[in-house]
């Protein structure tokens, strides 16, 4: 148990849930049994793991396992994502979605030292001071230039369309590589709703029409 806990990173010494302990054990087991992947797996930790409900296209309710990992683990995860997700899905029998925990950094406070922030307390008040402290605590994280969705691992995004209705609402469609259909087809609804839950933006996910090369690859798989 102690070794598995080393794969969990929680703020303020919050006690992990039983589900998080099980996910950490699963991740540690994968690391110990795959020496050739240990370099990458050793860099992957867990912030949280939750069973999240979502609505499928037919209106029925289902669940998926949402695992959040530190942002600094995301590069290592991309290199072994298929292996990690498959191992977790085999263990829990739920679709697994892994996302990076990321704090949106305020522009304010990034150029202030701790002493300068403390000296501003009597001027800006408690609420604004907390915003400065949040920015100060996350200096190691780059402030993203945009909130654009650029990847849906392990699938590849091949296109995106944005339609704006007369009332100003945006309707975004993502198109994935048809060669990745087997990897993610069973979790498209879950991914779209998890994305909405995290960002408040609604998207729909589809597969793009296969080109001539992709058709040949898909036909060869059927044989």
pTM: 0.73
**Does 195 score more than 90 pLDDT?**
no
- Asked whether residue 82 falls in the same domain as residue 111, the answer is no
- Asked whether residue 98 falls in the same domain as residue 4, the answer is yes
- Asked whether residue 193 falls in the same domain as residue 139, the answer is no
**Does 106 score more than 70 pLDDT?**
no
- Asked whether residue 8 falls in the same domain as residue 75, the answer is yes
Reported as a single tens digit per residue, the pLDDT across 20-77 is 999 999 999 999 999 999 999 999 999 999 998 988 888 889 999 999 999 889 899 9
CATH at residue 15: 3.30.300
Number of structural domains in the chain? 3
**Does 117 score more than 50 pLDDT?**
no
What's the per-residue H, E or C state across 162-204?
EEECCCCCEEEEEEECHHHHHHHHHHHHHHHHHHHHHHCCCEE
Q: Which domain holds residue 211?
A: 146-223
- Asked whether residue 131 falls in the same domain as residue 85, the answer is no
**Does 141 score more than 60 pLDDT?**
no
**What is the per-residue pLDDT for 17?**
93
């Amino acid at each position: 148990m102690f070794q598995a806990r080393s794969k969990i990173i929680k703020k303020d010494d919050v006690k992990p849930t039983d589900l998080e302990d099980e996910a950490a054990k699963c991740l540690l087991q994968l690391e110990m049994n795959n020496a050739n992947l240990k370099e990458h797996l050793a860099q992957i930790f867990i912030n949280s793991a939750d069973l999240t409900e979502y609505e499928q296209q037919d209106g029925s309710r289902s669940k998926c396992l949402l695992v959040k990992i530190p942002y600094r683990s995301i590069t290592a995860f991309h290199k072994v994502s298929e292996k990690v997700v498959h191992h977790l899905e085999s263990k829990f029998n739920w679709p697994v979605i892994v996302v990076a925990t990321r704090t949106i950094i305020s522009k304010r406070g990034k150029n202030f030292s701790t002493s300068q922030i403390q000296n501003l307390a009597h001027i800006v008040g408690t609420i604004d001071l907390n915003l400065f402290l949040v920015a100060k605590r996350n200096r190691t994280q780059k402030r993203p230039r945009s909130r654009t969705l650029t990847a849906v691992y392990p699938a590849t995004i091949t296109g995106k369309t944005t339609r704006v209705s007369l009332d100003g609402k945006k309707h975004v469609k993502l198109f994935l590589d048809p060669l990745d259909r087997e990897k993610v087809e069973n979790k498209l609804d879950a991914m779209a709703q998890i994305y909405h839950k995290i960002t408040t933006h609604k998207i729909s996910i589809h597969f793009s029409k296969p080109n001539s090369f992709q058709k040949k690859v898909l036909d060869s798989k059927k044989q």
